[in-house]
Amino acid sequence: MKKVIIADDEKSGRKLIKEYLEDFPDLVLVAEVNNGVDAITEINRFKPDLVFLDIQMPGKTGFEVLTHLEELPKIIFSTAYDEYALKAFEVHAVDYLLKPYTKERFQAAIDKLSNDNDKLGALTNSLLMEKPSYPQRVLVEHNKKLITVKVEDIVWIEAFGDYSKLHLYKGIYLSNFGISQLEEKLNPSNFIRIHRSSIINLESVKELHKYGKSYDVTMQNGDVVRVSRGYMDALKKIMF
């Protein structure tokens, strides 16, 4: 018997994998999650043999999940985005299933498991030993020129269409990157996403106020940022 975990933010994606797994009685599903933060928790808890891993998920991307694991299982990426295929194989994934895929394509991915034992050591070296670096200063556009901003001075980040607004004590600056792109560039120990439209700097939090079943976060500059229910788990992990 081999333990399996599914990490996919789309219910339909999880359902399809579970349906296809019925043909493989030796692969036993022990958990399914819909975000990157829970994926880390459940994988470290169950120590599965195989994980079907989506890439774009709330909380953490699939690649970020891998860098937070105590032990590395075999990985089959299951995603709707083909642009990550090269990176997936750079981290020695067993296979890369591009949604939507057929039962035959799923079978082919499972068949690769028996020939993949040599890849796990390389995956361990490339991820567990990797320590990501994060910028301390960034360049942002202001009055038709680029200026440097200390990352630690960013109070919070607000999605603004395809762009993002950086809220600092001294003003607001516009970034050409979307909020999901900025989330990947920032140190998750300092910056956490609390809404699909908001990332906060934990060093700049003044207080939290209960709002129904969620919270409002008051920042040091006086701004109030709403926490959405979908991102509550990330915030709860830092509550003591």
Q: What is the pLDDT of residue 103?
A: 93
Domains of the chain: 2-127 (3.40.50.2300), 137-236 (2.40.50.1020)
User: Cβ of 224: how many Cβ atoms within 10 Å?
Assistant: 11
Distance CA 232, CA 234 (A): 5
As a whole number, the mean pLDDT across the chain is: 85
User: What single letter denotes the amino acid at residue 179?
Assistant: I
Element (H, E) at 198: strand 198-201
Model pLDDT, residue 128: 44
Which of 83-97, 123-137, 150-164 reaches the highest mean pLDDT? 150-164
Gap between the Cα atoms of 120 and 48, Å rounded: 13
pLDDT > 50? residue 216? yes
Checking if the pLDDT of 119 tops 70, the result is no
What is the predicted pLDDT for the residue at 127?
46
Predicted confidence at residue 148, as pLDDT, reads 79
CA gap 216, 165 in Å, rounded: 19
What's the rounded Cα separation, in Å, for the pair 148 and 145?
Answer: 10
Evaluate if pTM is beyond 0.75.
no
Q: What percent of the chain has pLDDT over 90?
A: 49
